[in-house]
Structure 1
């Protein structure tokens, strides 16, 4: 019972962080696309399609999830399962908010 509670708390914390990360990373990707479009006439291939900050942010969210799982005393499979649940829930919240902004 307590293991399930700890696993769901870990998933909830990840689900809270994922929408903020996705919004930030999509803004970073848009800025990168603008940079690539400006640079295409002068230096082809000079800009990376995915900024390193976005990859570092994804690694940070993942590492922080496993650190919280370690604090909660989760086993490795519980931490991975809670990561998957948190990412799915967080992505669902992000998509729901994006659809609400378009309407």
Structure 2
């Protein structure tokens, strides 16, 4: 019973962080596309398509999830399952909010 509660708490914390990360990553990628379009006439291929900050943020999100899972005394399998649940719920919330913004 308590293991399930700890696993869902870990998933909920990840689900809270994922929509904010996805919005931020989208803004960073849009800014990177603008940089790539400006640089295309002078130095083709000089700008990376995915900014390194976005990759570092994804790694940080994963590491922080597993750090919280360790603090909650979850095993590796439980931590991985809670990561999958958290990502799925966070992605659902992100898509739901994006669809709501399109309608209004």
Q: Which category describes the TM-score, using the shorter chain as reference length?
A: over 0.9
Please name the residue that 2:75 is paired with. Answer: 75
State how many pairs are aligned.
Answer: 103
Gaps of 5+ in 1: none
Please name the residue that 1:9 is paired with. Answer: 9
Please name the residue that 1:23 is paired with. Answer: 23
The normalised TM-score by structure 1 is: 1.00
The normalised TM-score by structure 2 is: 0.99
Report the aligned-residue RMSD.
0.3
Q: Name segments (4+ residues, structure 1) moved above 2 Å.
A: none
Please name the residue that 1:55 is paired with. Answer: 55
1:46-92 deviation digits (Å, cap 9, x = unpaired): 00000000000000100000000000000000000000000000000
Gaps of 5+ in 2: none
